[in-house]
Amino acid sequence: MELNGKRVALGVTGGIAAYKAAELVRLLIKQGASVQVTMTEAATHFVTAVTFQALSGQRVFSDQWDPRVANNMAHIDLSRRADVLLIAPASADFIAKVAHGLADDLLSTLSLARDCPLLVAPAMNRQMWENPATQRNVATLRGDGVVILGPDCGEQACGESGAGRMLEAADIVDDLIAFFQPKPLIGKKLLLTAGPTFEAIDPVRGITNLSSGKMGFAVARAAREAGAEVTLVCGPVSQEVPRGIRRIDVTSALQMHAEVMKCAASQDIFVAVAAVADYRPKAAAPHKIKKDGGGAPAIELVINPDILAEVAALPAPPLCVGFAAESRNLADYAQKKRVAKKIPLIVGNLIDDGFGGDENTLVLYDQSGATPLPRGAKIELARALVGHIAKLLAAHR
C-alpha cells in the first residue's frame, strides 16, 4: 500500500477515457489512498457519479453551488483536504482552461484555488494533442509547475492511432507513487545491469543462473523515482521495464560488457546488480552436441570480463556500486570484493534470503562498515539503497 494515508482529489473531465478513471479509483484505494472525485458536467455523459461514489466510498461533487458543502465553497475545501489534485482524463478544453486561468465550473475553479500540487493526464485525439494550441497550453502548465503524465501512443476510440491516449490506470498510479518519493538524483545519469547472462555451449544449451532480475529492476524504478535518467542493461529476463527507463537487452557477459563500456564514462552512477557469469565456453559448438556413446563432452572455460572492475578503473569513473550474493560468509566475502574492485559501496545478501523472490534482506558495506536493511519488498529496499547512494554521491563530488 504505497499510497497509504495519501489524500487524492481526482478530477474527471469529459471524454471516452473517463471509463479508465473508474479503474484508477479502484487502484488508488487498493494502494491505501483516499479518493475524493470531482466531475465536470461533460464527464457525467460518460460515467455516472454513482460509479465513483461506489468505488471511492465518498460522495462525488460536480456542482459549483453544491449545498452539501456547509460554507458553499467546495472549490476551497476540496483542495485543502488533499495532498494532490489529479486530473484524469484531462481533455484539451480543460487543459486550455487551466493554462489560461479560467474558472467557470467546480473543477476548473478547484484547479485555480488549489493548495496542493496538480498532476494532469491528458486524453484526446492525436490531432487535438498535436495541435499547436494544445502544445502551447501544455508548455504553459509545465512552466507553472504542473506535472504532465503522458500521454500514451496507440489506438484511439475514434479509430485513429497516435499520441493522445490517456495512460493506463496502473501507469498513472505508478507515476503518482513516484511523485511522492524524494528526488535526490535529479539531473543525474544512472546506469545499471540486471538479470543473469547466458553463455552458449551450443545453439540450445548454455551456462546461466537463477537470477530473476527483480532486484535490478526495482533499483531502476527507485532511481527513476528519485529523478535520475536511467539506462538499464539486462540479461534474459521476463520482467517488464518501468516506463521512462531506457532498456538495452543482452544475452551474454561479453554483450553486457560491450553495452556498459559504451556509455559508462558519461554516467554519474553505475550499479552492477546483474549476476554475470564468471566463465564462458571458449568456443560454442555451431550445432547441437549429440550423445554418441563416447561419454560427456569436455567444455573448456575462459574467464569473462569483470565489468564492475573495469568501470571502476576508468580515468573518471562514475560512483560504482556492486552486489554480492553469497551462500555463506557474507560480510567477509562482500568486503573483500569491495576492496578488490576499489568501489565505495557493495550490497550484500544471502541467496537464501531473496534470490528470485519479491522480498530480500540486504546489507550495505562501505568504508564506514555495515548497514543492514530490514527485510522487505525489493522496491522498498531499492529506495533505501538509492537514498544511500545519493548521500555517497553528494560526499563523493
Catalytic residue list: 158
Q: Name 249's bridge partners.
A: 234
Q: With the C-alpha atoms ordered 366, 370, 371, 376, is the resulting torsion angle positive or negative? A: positive
Task: Return the exposure string of 154-168: e unless at least 16 CB atoms fall within 10 Å of the residue's CB, then b.
Answer: eebeeeeeebbbbbb
> Which cell goes with 105?
465550473
Cβ 40 vs Cβ 67: under 8 Å: no
Instruction: Extract the C-alpha cell encoding 253.
Output: 557477459
Q: Amino acid identity, residue 117?
A: P
Helix, strand, coil distribution of the chain in percent, nearest 5: 35, 25, 40
Contacts of 276 (CB under 8 A, 6+ apart): 193, 196, 197, 235, 253, 256, 304, 307
| Contacts by residues 132-136 (CB-CB < 8 Å, ≥ 24 positions apart) | 133/96, 134/92, 134/95, 134/96, 136/99
| Torsion sign, CA atoms 41, 45, 51, 52 | negative
Q: Cis check for the bond before 151: say yes or no (omega within 30 of 0).
A: yes
